[in-house]
Structure 1
Amino acid sequence: MPTNFFAILTAALVPLITGYIWYHPKVFGTFWMRIAGVNEDKIKKSNMLFIFLFSTFLSILIGMFLQFVTIHQFGALGMIGGDETLAKTSYTAFMKEYRMAYRSFGHGVLHSFMAGIFFVFPLFGINAAFERKSWKYVMLNAGYWTVTITIMGGIICGWYALDGFNFTTPK
Structure 2
Amino acid sequence: MEMNFLAVIVAALSTMVVGAIWYNPKVFGTVWMKETGMTEEKAEGANMFKIFGMAILFAIMISFVLQFSVIHQFGSLGMIGGNPAVAKPSYEAFIADYGHAFRTFKHGALHGFMTGLFLGLPVIGTNALFERKSAKYILINGGYWIICFTIMGGILCAWE
TM bucket, shorter chain? over 0.9
TM-score with structure 2 setting the length: 0.96
In the alignment, residue 37 of structure 1 is paired with which amino acid?
Answer: G
- CA distance in structure 2 between the aligned counterparts of 1:5 and 1:84, rounded to whole angstroms: 19
Which residue of 1 is the match for residue 40 of structure 2? 40
Gaps of 5+ in 2: none
Instruction: State the SS of the aligned residue for 1:26.
Output: coil
- CA distance in structure 2 between the aligned counterparts of 1:89 and 1:37, rounded to whole angstroms: 59
Query: Is 100-109 or 84-93 further displaced after alignment?
Result: 84-93
In the alignment, residue 76 of structure 2 is paired with which amino acid?
Answer: A
Instruction: State the SS of the aligned residue for 2:122.
Output: helix
Which residue of 2 is the match for residue 67 of structure 1? 67
Gaps of 5+ in 1: 161-171
Which residue of 1 is the match for residue 112 of structure 2? 112
| 1:89 Cα deviation from its structure 2 partner | 2.9
Is structure 2 residue 136 aligned with structure 1 residue 136?
A: yes
TM-score with structure 1 setting the length: 0.90
Which residue of 2 is the match for residue 79 of structure 1? 79
Which residue of 1 is the match for residue 126 of structure 2? 126
Instruction: State the SS of the aligned residue for 2:63.
Output: helix
Which residue of 2 is the match for residue 159 of structure 1? 159
Is structure 2 residue 25 aligned with structure 1 residue 18?
A: no
Instruction: State the SS of the aligned residue for 2:150.
Output: helix
| 1:3 Cα deviation from its structure 2 partner | 1.3
| 1:6 Cα deviation from its structure 2 partner | 1.3
- CA distance in structure 1 between the aligned counterparts of 2:10 and 2:119, rounded to whole angstroms: 23
In the alignment, residue 68 of structure 1 is paired with which amino acid?
Answer: F
How many equivalent residue pairs? 160
Which residue of 2 is the match for residue 88 of structure 1? 88
- Report % sequence identity: 52
Deviations 1:17-50 (A, max 9, x none): 1111110111111100000111111111110011
- CA distance in structure 1 between the aligned counterparts of 2:124 and 2:42, rounded to whole angstroms: 23
Which residue of 2 is the match for residue 166 of structure 1? none
- CA distance in structure 2 between the aligned counterparts of 1:138 and 1:148, rounded to whole angstroms: 15
- CA distance in structure 2 between the aligned counterparts of 1:62 and 1:116, rounded to whole angstroms: 11
- CA distance in structure 2 between the aligned counterparts of 1:49 and 1:142, rounded to whole angstroms: 24
Deviations 1:111-160 (A, max 9, x none): 00000111111111111111111111111100001001111111111112
- Structure 1 vs Structure 2 CA RMSD: 1.0
